[in-house]
Amino acid sequence: MRTRPTLSWSPSGPSLPRTSTLTDVVPIVADGGVLVLSGAGLSTESGIPDYRGEGGSLRKHTPMTYEEFTTSSAGRQRYWARSHVGWRTIARAHPNAGHHAVTRLDAKLSGVITQNVDGLHQAAGSPDVVELHGGLDRVICLDCGVLSPRLDLDRRLREANPAFAATTDEINPDGDVFLPEETVRGFEVVGCDECGGVLKPDVVFFGENVPRPRVEQCYELVGNARSLLVLGSSLTVMSGLRFVRRAADSGIPVVIINRGETRGDQYASHRVDLPLGPTLTELADLVLR
């Protein structure tokens, strides 16, 4: 069963209190056993905009859905042409201060779950990151199930489209970009090297379910944590919000650090509204001094 994609939500009731200090957060993190749940807001300082924050890309971009990708060859052509351009920006992105701060705090963490598909936690050195929505650095064949590196596909697409030279400065968290229809119309899509089947990035598209074993792994991490630290996520989609709800229902403190309201604010024991990079750097300094 496929779910309908949740692209937005509207806050109901008064805004919950937020703080601009880390006073109450430091002892929670210092106590250890912290499970991190990160979202696109953590990667904005690496040049990858989020979906829903100030200037978020959903204001002008409708993400590819699982249904369109699997049922429309024109949709796949459009996606791969645009993603072929966007992948260059994702591949060049570097971890920012927030990612490095999470890595510094590793001894205090029980795990990291990320909703991001950019691989920046791993690039910063965080071990055993659970990629809730998959990763753009690999592709999967929908026919035979073989996984292959995105770099290999990038090479094959370049060979199949030697005259394709589209560029853009606008990138989305899923690696998709906007290109005019006339630009993508002649783009040649390649199939699986093993069976010729349909290739898809190994990420969870809007309207697609996160694999159940991955969900259960995350629930287990929540159950073993002493606190949940949410970083840069609006928690709009249920795939991340459910872990916040589970933590709150279990009496586990939920700390949310994010610019702007989130769908999980009502479950938070502490709510910090500050920029991620400098705030997490300060948090790591205070915890580890």
Catalytic (active site) residue 133 = yes
CA-nearest of 123, 113, 121, 100 to 225 is 113
User: What is the C-alpha R_g of the chain?
Assistant: 19
Residue 252 annotated as binding? no
Residue 104 annotated as binding? no
Residue 218 annotated as binding? no
Q: Cα separation of 118 and 128, whole Å?
A: 15
Residue 42 annotated as binding? yes
To which H or E segment does residue 150 belong?
helix 150-160
Residue 49 annotated as binding? yes
Residue 117 annotated as binding? yes
Residue 51 annotated as binding? yes
Instruction: Write down the catalytic residue from 99, 100, 121, 133.
Output: 133
Strands 134-141, 109-114: pairing kind: unpaired
Residue 40 annotated as binding? yes
Strands 227-231, 34-38: pairing kind: parallel
Residue 54 annotated as binding? yes
Q: Cα separation of 122 and 102, whole Å?
A: 11
Q: Cα separation of 167 and 60, whole Å?
A: 18
- Residues making up the binding site: 39-59, 115-118, 141, 144, 192, 195, 232-234, 258-260, 276
Residues noted as catalytic: 133
Binding residues for NAD(+): 39-59, 115-118, 232-234, 258-260, 276
Please state the residue numbers annotated as binding site for Zn(2+). Answer: 141, 144, 192, 195
